[in-house]
Amino acid sequence: MEGVHIHNMNLVRMLDFQQKGDERGQLVVAEGGGKDIPFEIKRVFYIYGSDSDVVRGCHANRKTEFVMINVAGSSKIRVKDGEGNEAIYFLNRPHTGIYLPTMVWKEMYDFSADSVLLVIASEHYDPNEYIREYFIFEKEIRMEK
């Protein structure tokens, strides 16, 4: 039924992690398995040194869910559902993340010079589960319906 199905984009949400601060400074825990991160963590990588005019990502994942946290600096994430809807999120706090489910198109951009974007993933790296062409993403979204 057109127009009533749940888009994975509606599952995108910001996550607020508790800051365990004391006089020595802050500590943030991102524990997997549904405690802080809504999946078992299999992979962590981080992105830094990207110029402000660089656009990264530009892909969707068939299998992997992600949480992204700007542990330093800031960046923006544009999320698209393949059906004409998009949303933009701003990451600028080491205790705030964004949850990205499978089958959403994502673009990371507007990196501050000090941006360190921590990415937590639910799967090991497999280039075959990445969709890097927008028209193929659109096609697979249409096929899901």
Binding flag, residue 98, ligand TYD (CB under 6 A) = no
Alpha helices, DSSP H, located in the chain:
134-144
Q: Which of 14, 42, 125, 142 binds ligand TYD (CB under 6 A)?
A: 125
Binding flag, residue 13, ligand TYD (CB under 6 A) = no
Could you tell me the smallest distance in angstroms from the CB atom of residue 145 to ligand TYD?
26
Buried b (16+ CB within 10 A) or exposed e, 73-86: bebbbbbbbbeeee
Q: Which of 11, 46, 56, 93 binds ligand TYD (CB under 6 A)?
A: 56
Buried b (16+ CB within 10 A) or exposed e, 37-55: bbbeeeeeeebeebeeeee
Binding characters for ligand TYD, 22-51, by CB under 6 A (x = yes): ---------------------x-x-x----
Give the residue numbers marked as catalytic: 59
